[in-house]
Chains A and B, each alone.
Chain A
Amino acid sequence: ETGVTQSPTHLIKTRGQQVTLRCSSQSGHNTVSWYQQALGQGPQFIFQYYREEENGRGNFPPRFSGLQFPNYSSELNVNALELDDSALYLCASSSPNIGGGGELFFGEGSRLTVL
């Protein structure tokens, strides 16, 4: 069973640039969520995609956007990068779970540094 894979693992950008992070979900999972984890803090929910549509969003500005593809893989796009966007971005996949409480399977993350 293939786990959740993310790319790239590390990247460095400068303020104002744009970045795209990619995630392949675990086999059989059609729900993908993205989390931002600043250094020394807990992950914060960015948004979730189910059947190619955004299904829930955390307290993040519109310059954070995403996509989910027919094969359930996903992208996180961040425009106009700011220094505070430096963080580990985690992708998680899961089986459909309408009522919450499902187990999430996380990738190892993409570490973004904004200079």
Chain B
Amino acid sequence: AQKVTQAQTEISVVEKEDVTLDCVYETRDTTYYLFWYKQPPSGELVFLIRRNSFDEQNEISGRYSWNFQKSTSSFNFTITASQVVDSAVYFCALSEAFIDAGNKLTFGGGTRVLVKP
């Protein structure tokens, strides 16, 4: 069975500070995908980033960056120079990668980020 754990329930920062969100996952699969989604107060989940299990290269996309470490089953996410508009709940998610998996995601419990001006 798959499991995603986000130990931080809420993080509060002042604008322009960096924010790092932790994510630890469990899966028996050797091939899988990891995601980060953002949920603003309006409710819809917005896709941010995706990484497959074969690619441990860490990247930066604008103010977002991620640190994927397969050895520790962690997929941490950083927002650099946070802005008030970054205030939302952030979810880490895991997807299997086999023919019938489709788009079934296993989500963590979420981390609420509050960015104060």
Number of A-B pairs whose CB atoms are under 8 Å?
87
CB contacts under 8 Å to B, within A40-70, are 40-45, 48, 50, 55-56, 58
Contact A104:B47 (CB < 8 A) given known A45-B105, A97-B102: yes
Contacts of B95 in A (CB 8 A): 100-101
CB distance B109 to A99 under 8 Å?
no
A40 to B110, CA, bound (A): 8
Contacts of A111 in B (CB 8 A): 43
Contacts of A108 in B (CB 8 A): 42-44
CB contacts under 8 Å to A, within B43-101, are 43-47, 50, 52, 91, 93, 95-101
CB distance B47 to A101 under 8 Å?
no
CB distance B45 to A99 under 8 Å?
no
B106 within 8 A of A: yes
CB distance A100 to B101 under 8 Å?
yes
Contacts of A106 in B (CB 8 A): 44-46
- The size of the chain A interface, using a CB distance under 8 A, is 33
CB distance B103 to A31 under 8 Å?
yes
A106 to B37, CA, bound (A): 10
B16 to chain A minimum Cβ distance, whole angstroms, is 28
CB distance B107 to A101 under 8 Å?
no
- 11 A-B pairs besides A42-B4, A109-B43 with CB distance below 8 A are A31-B103, A43-B45, A44-B107, A56-B102, A88-B43, A99-B97, A100-B97, A101-B52, A104-B103, A104-B105, A106-B46
27 contacts across the A-B interface (CB closer than 8 A):
A33-B102, A41-B110, A42-B91, A42-B109, A42-B110, A43-B45, A43-B91, A43-B107, A45-B105, A48-B103, A48-B104, A55-B100, A55-B102, A56-B102, A90-B44, A94-B103, A97-B102, A97-B103, A98-B102, A99-B98, A100-B33, A100-B96, A100-B102, A101-B95, A104-B45, A109-B44, A111-B43
